[in-house]
Amino acid sequence: MDTENIGALIHIPQKHKIEQYQLNCMELFDTIDKYWMKKEGLVFYPFDRSKQAYFFGNKENKKPINEYDLMINDSLSKEEYETSVFMAKQAISIGQMKKVVLARNEIISGDYDPISVFKNSVRKYSSSYGYYVNIGPEQWVGASPELLIHYEEGMLSTVALAGTKSLDEKFTSKEKNEQLMVCDFIEEKLDSLDLTDYQKSATVEENFNTIKHLKTSYEVACSPQDALELLKILQPTSAVCGLPRDSSFEFIQDFETMNRGFYSGMTGILKKDSATFFVNLRCMRFHQNTIELFAGAGITEDSDPSAEWEETEKKIASIKQLLDN
């Protein structure tokens, strides 16, 4: 494997295969409409879609890329995070929003090979979407449990994934209500496109190493254009942003003291006859000799600031394991 020219590696659990994209085929991404069902490759989106996304196609890009939105973050302390949770609860109590997902980071030093970490993610989390993306100055590695959409042969699939507990804990009304909000959000978006004849699964528990989530699956027949429109209105989902989305997004922009970068953005595998997009979760950013790990928690009126910090600790621990050989 020519590791120097690897732009991206994507593990697709349903197909038990890894797709590879070349670094010299990376280009600045334009609008999704220009690529949908027309070009084949991989797109890597940041959380804030007003920022630059990148595309890895199958043709060499002769124009060097010099546009990078490099992040400069400090590790968020427990006190700082719990203060932001308290402020979010105040905003919820006065009706500004119903839920907001607040993220935090942890920065550690070390000389790690991100491709080896990616390989660990595939071994340890074989049912997740493992990803390694190299955008030049920085590399991102993760193992996401959350499918955003899959579209193929006229059928679209998506999931509502939310609520976090350790494997030995029971879900409470707080997590169940949090996940129900995500279901409501998805159903509202399906209804807005007149995609009302969808199939909805029972809600099940989905394990991810030492933690678990609540998951509901959806499937609906639709046209390629409807699938594209749903993709555009789903992300960022309420599972990574909040409800209502606009007010929660504004709260995040105002009160999160870090730049999320590509954390909680999305990665898409585009084909001329299909598309698979997943949310960039359980991830870390490699830059020089530092590794920045990310996690978030859904804040509602029932949230306890200390418990939300502990939830993010569990999520970060689940991906920090990937640094171990």
| pLDDT tens-digit series, residues 244-261 | 999 999 999 999 989 999
pLDDT at 118: 96
Q: Does the pLDDT value for residue 8 go beyond 80?
A: yes
pLDDT at 190: 98
Q: Are 272 and 38 in contact (CB under 8 A)?
A: yes
Local confidence band at 5 (pLDDT 50, 70, 90 cut-offs): confident
Task: Give which of 173, 172, 144, 138 is closest to 159, Cα–Cα.
Answer: 144
| pLDDT tens-digit series, residues 75-121 | 999 999 999 999 999 999 999 999 999 999 999 999 999 999 999 99
How is the chain split among helix, strand and coil, in percent rounded to 5?
30, 35, 35
Q: Does the pLDDT value for residue 149 go beyond 60?
A: yes
Q: How many Å apart are CA 289 and CA 304, to the nearest integer?
A: 35
**Both tokens of residue 6?**
């690897």
DSSP 8-state symbol, 239: T
Q: Are 198 and 215 in contact (CB under 8 A)?
A: no
Domain locations in the chain as residue ranges? 3-63+72-323
Which amino acid, one-letter code, is at 94?
I
Q: Are 75 and 105 in contact (CB under 8 A)?
A: yes
**High-pLDDT (> 70) share of the chain, %:** 98
Q: How many Å apart are CA 321 and CA 184, to the nearest integer?
A: 33
Backbone phi, psi, residue 123, to 5°: -70, -45
Task: Tell me the DSSP string of 11-47.
Answer: EETTTTEEEEEEGGGEEE---GGGTTTT--EEEEE-S
Q: How many Å apart are CA 82 and CA 141, to the nearest integer?
A: 27
**Both tokens of residue 9?**
């590696």
Q: Are 103 and 260 in contact (CB under 8 A)?
A: yes
> 262 Cβ partners below 8 Å, 6+ apart?
44, 45, 46, 47, 133, 140, 280, 283, 285
Residue 99 CB: number of other CB atoms within 10 A?
Answer: 24
Average pLDDT, the chain: 93
Q: How many Å apart are CA 321 and CA 102, to the nearest integer?
A: 23
Q: Does the pLDDT value for residue 1 go beyond 60?
A: no
- Residue 144's SS3 state is strand
Task: Give which of 6, 254, 315, 310 is closest to 135, Cα–Cα.
Answer: 6
Q: Does the pLDDT value for residue 204 go beyond 80?
A: yes
Q: How many Å apart are CA 20 and CA 138, to the nearest integer?
A: 18
Q: What is the pTM of this model?
A: 0.94
| pLDDT tens-digit series, residues 304-318 | 999 999 999 999 999
Domain covering 3-63+72-323 in this structure, CATH number: 3.60.120.10
Which amino acid, one-letter code, is at 177?
N
Local confidence band at 14 (pLDDT 50, 70, 90 cut-offs): confident
* 217 burial via Cβ count (<10 Å: 0-12, 13-18, 19+): middle
Beta bridge partners of 298: 101
| pLDDT tens-digit series, residues 280-308 | 999 999 998 999 999 999 999 999 999 99
Local confidence band at 179 (pLDDT 50, 70, 90 cut-offs): very high
Helix ranges, 193-244 (H): 224-234
Q: Are 149 and 227 in contact (CB under 8 A)?
A: yes
What value does the mean pLDDT take over residues 46-71? 86
